[in-house]
Amino acid sequence: MPGRKRHLDLGDAVSFESVLTILTVLLVLRIVFLVPMVNLDKARTESAKRSGIWDTTISRAARLSGPGNAKGYLAAMGLSNGSVVESPSVDSGMVWIEAVLPDSSVAVVLHDRGAGTYVRLFAQSRTEHPSCQYGDLRWSPVERQWFTVSDSVDYGDRGVSGATLARYRNWLATAPR
């Protein structure tokens, strides 16, 4: 039968329709899970814009910074070229360090000298929700500065950044102007 076409058996090959179905499912999953994450990030950014917390920090650091302020913290916290203010908290042994760096990023550090721990909030712009690094600090009498011994990062799942940001807002309400 020369006129009859021969049907080629591909065995277990994947059909074009199967590939399209898989791609469609992946696209739908991406949309379902990506959109809420983007909206959450937008909500955090909007919250940061409304609070004005970084504007307050910038004005405090510009107004109150001076030579030698928080000198022992500069290297450990990456604040060497910034305008830095060290302020003791009403709680004994707690110190707030506020800094504005030359690239306009803002850093706020809470150091509990009694426990030897710190939390560092860092925002690259005044409309950004801050990143959070926390851990232990140790004093070196020879170098006359603090050094981080161990640290971790809070991506928002551990509650450290939210709690510290709330403490900072409360402290700003009562801090000397």
Q: pLDDT per position in the chain (177 positions), as tens?
A: 566 666 666 666 678 888 889 899 888 877 777 666 666 666 666 665 555 778 888 888 888 876 666 888 888 888 888 889 888 776 678 899 999 888 888 999 999 988 999 999 988 876 777 889 999 999 999 998 999 988 888 877 788 888 888 888 888 888 766
Instruction: Evaluate whether residue 6 is within a structural domain.
Output: no
Is 4 among the domain residues?
no
Q: Is residue 3 part of a domain?
A: no
Residue at 17 is within a domain: yes
Helices (H) and strands (E) in the chain, counts: 4, 6
Same domain, 112 and 123: yes
Looking at the structure, do residues 166 and 94 belong to the same domain, yes or no?
yes
Q: Which domain holds residue 93?
A: 52-174
Do residue 111 and residue 65 come from a single domain? Answer: yes
How far is the C-alpha of 9 from the C-alpha of 4, rounded, in Å? 16
Is the same domain home to 151 and 67? yes
Whether 130 and 81 share a structural domain: yes
135 forms beta bridges with 118, 151
Assess whether 39 and 73 both reside in one domain.
no
Does residue 136 lie in a domain region? yes
Residue 40 shares a structural domain with residue 121: no
Indicate if 75 and 131 belong to the same structural domain: yes
Overall number of domains in the chain: 2
- The secondary structure of 55-77 as a DSSP string is HHHHHHHHHH--TTTTGGGHHHH
For residues 141 and 56, membership in a common domain is answered with yes
Q: Which residues of 64-75 are buried (b: 16+ CB within 10 A; e: fewer)?
A: bbeeebbebbbe
Assess whether 134 and 75 both reside in one domain. Answer: yes
Q: Assess whether 129 and 62 both reside in one domain.
A: yes
Q: Are residues 46 and 57 in the same domain?
A: no
* Assigned domain for 115 exists: yes
Answering whether pTM is above 0.75, one says no
Give the C-alpha distances (Å, rounded to integers) separating 71 from 38, 46, 62, 63, 175. Answer: 39, 34, 16, 17, 21
